[in-house]
Amino acid sequence: MSVLKEWIFTTDHKKVGLLYLIGSMAAFAFAGFSALMMRAELSSIGPTITNNPGDYNVWLYFHGAAMILGFQIPALTGFLANYLVPLQIGAKDVAFPRINALSVWLFYMGLILALLTFVVPDPPDVMWTGYPPYSTITFANTALYTFTVLLLGFASILGGVNFLTTIAFMRAPGIGWNQLNMFTWCTFAAFILQLIFVPVLGTAVTLISLDKYLGTHFFDPSSGGDVLVYQNLFWFYSHPAVYVILLPFIGIVFDIVATFARNRIFNYKAAVYGGVGGILLLAGEVWIHHLYVTGMPDWIRVGQMVTTLLISIPVGLLFISLVGTLYKGSISFETPMLYALSVVFLMLIGGLTGIPLAIVSLTLHVSDTYYIPGHFHYVMAVAGTFAIFGGVYYLFPKFTGKMYNEFVGKLAFWITFVGVNVIFFPMMIVGVTEGMPRRYWDYAQFPGAEPYQYWMTVGAAIIGVGFLLVLFNWIHALFAGPKAGNNPWGSRSLEWTTTSPPLDHGNWEEVPKIEEGWGPYEYGTEKT
């Protein structure tokens, strides 16, 4: 009983972080399950496991919404940020522990709403984008979508308020802005984006429920409303949201790569001020690239083609620093490092395939085809998920005090690595060459797509096995893993100076003193 109380009444940032981990992994498992259902349905032409397209649409709605809002954003800005940031800046906790607890419980309430999709009559079928007028004329339960987004969004805003304050004011004496871990920097930037853009999404989804249930006319052209206003508001948030995912995941990859290469970040300042800063500056000016085929005025489309392409500059700077960190390193290849390194390659594929999408004339063909899921699964679902899994492996010895099994870890990694490429590369090909549109329950008019679809399903099955193995490895290690040391990876970063697991309250007996010239990546110098 008292253990239970310790968890559900906790305000400790580490426990809150782990609660976020559990919730987001549950979301991942459910959303992954609905992905498997979708894949099974698509494995061949004609009704395969359901002859009701409505079922498919609900799975797809849940898959998209839960993966982004319930899994990735909470895993990155909930779990990793909560667990790591205070440790990396030498703080005893976050600025507002109670608000932190409120944030995680609101997240759980949002998850409960999201999961209601599977039990209520008329579950939402509006896709994770919820475009009106469809979302306002469907018989399905759009309110569930609205409130899921609102609760998860509000949880995120509270997290933002908390972490921006924490990082700005609670760094241990002696840690300056140029001595922050890349992950902390990226979290800082990601929360600025959340704070600015989530409220816009909140308003947008509220307006569709007002339209649907209270009879307002915001998106109803027959009474002077405008259907495109919603899409603008939605993508005004949801494009920056992809950087809310990208930033922390590239941040944790930086930390892992630096640790396992035991090396300085190459050109840290360019990565922080050029890369992270540049993304912050550009993130809000490119949303029209999701509206290339909606009849927006031509000059806006062309203008935002240019801004979208320019995003490659800050991301490119991050890549130079990332690859440069390997230069003259001392690289070892444990499981977290395998995940982190694979992110470099997968993110190259995913990011670079965004470039043709940014070019408006090319998007006229590929928009809303399977090329799009191909692009974003590489960059988000694969690179992002691998970064999160790498992060969990990386921190596993810290938060459990136990070591996972290296062999099973690597095996599972290679299985999933093969699996994701088998599923997501064909997606891009079938999108361009066959023109297979997305969000299709069936594709009789595109017979050429069948072999690709078949192999994607095979790939999905492979991934499923891989993730089960991961889960098995973690659970096994949690109960029967060998004891891990305080700093198994030989990192110089602050979070590894505590015990494993860290002290319940306050993290350290005494917060380590920061020496002149200390930095989280000062490898190759005298150890102090």
- Contact positions toward Cu ion, by CB under 5 A? 239
Following DSSP, what letter does each residue of 24-46 receive, concatenated? HHHHHHHHHHHHHHHHHHHTSSS
Q: Return the residue of 242, 283, 338, 477 that touches ligand HEA, per CB under 6 A.
A: 242
Pair of tokens at residue 460: 């999905």
26 near other proteins, judged by CB under 8 A:
no
Output 13 or 375, the one with its CB closest to Cu ion: 375
Provide the mask over 83-112, with x wherever binding to other proteins is found by CB under 8 A and - wherever it is not.
---------xx-xxxxx-xx-xxx-xx--x
Q: Residues 174, 401, 506, 512: which binds other proteins (CB under 8 A)?
A: 506
- Is the bond preceding 501 in cis, omega lying within 30 degrees of 0? yes
At closest approach, how far in Å is the CB of 350 from other proteins? 10
In the complex, least distance from residue 13 CB atom to ligand HEA, rounded to whole angstroms: 22
How far apart are the C-alpha atoms of 314 and 356, rounded to whole Å? 18
Q: What are phi and psi of 219, to 5 degrees?
A: -115, 20
Question: What is the residue type of 510?
Answer: E
Q: Is the peptide bond before 133 cis (omega within 30 degrees of 0)?
A: yes
Instruction: Give the integer Cα–Cα distance in Å for 490 and 134.
Output: 54
Q: Is 403 in the site for other proteins (CB under 8 A)?
A: no
> What whole-number distance in Å separates Cα of residue 269 and Cα of residue 275?
9
216 binds other proteins (CB under 8 A): yes
Least Å distance between CB 492 and ligand HEA?
28
Name the token pair of 283.
């993130």
Residue with smallest beta-carbon separation from ligand HEA: 32
Q: How far is residue 140 from each of residues 115, 120, 122, 212, 436, measured CA to CA in Å?
A: 15, 10, 5, 11, 26
Binding mask 118-157 for ligand HEA (x = CB under 6 A): ---------xxx----------------------------
Residue 298: CB minimum distance to ligand HEA, A: 16
Q: Which of 343, 338, 341, 363 is nearest to 353 (CA)?
A: 363
Q: Is 463 in the site for ligand HEA (CB under 6 A)?
A: yes
Give yes or no for residue 84 binding ligand HEA (CB under 6 A). Answer: no
The tokens describing 407, both together, are 């062999």
- Here's the x/- map for ligand HEA, 7-46, by CB under 6 A: it reads as ------------------x--xx--x--xx-xx-------
Find the binding residues for other proteins in span 330-349 (CB under 8 A).
330-333, 341, 344-345, 348-349
Residue 363 lies near ligand HEA (rule: CB under 6 A) = yes
Nearer to Cu ion, 212 or 239 (CB): 239
Look at phi and psi of residue 94 and say left if phi exceeds 0, alpha if psi is from -120 to 50, else beta. Answer: beta
**412 lies in the binding site for ligand HEA (CB under 6 A):** no
| Residues from 251 through 310 that contact other proteins (CB under 8 A) | 261-264, 266-267, 269-270, 274, 293-295, 298, 301-302, 305-306, 309-310
Tell the smallest beta-carbon distance from residue 385 to other proteins (Å): 20
Contacting residue, 18, 73, 372, 422, with ligand HEA by CB under 6 A: 372
Structure tokens at 371: 């090329």
Residue 64 is a binding residue for ligand HEA (CB under 6 A): yes
What does 182-249 look like in DSSP terms, one character per residue? HHHHHHHHHHHHHHHHHHHHHHHHHHHHIIIII---TT-GGGT--HHHHHHHHHHHHHHHHHHHHHHH
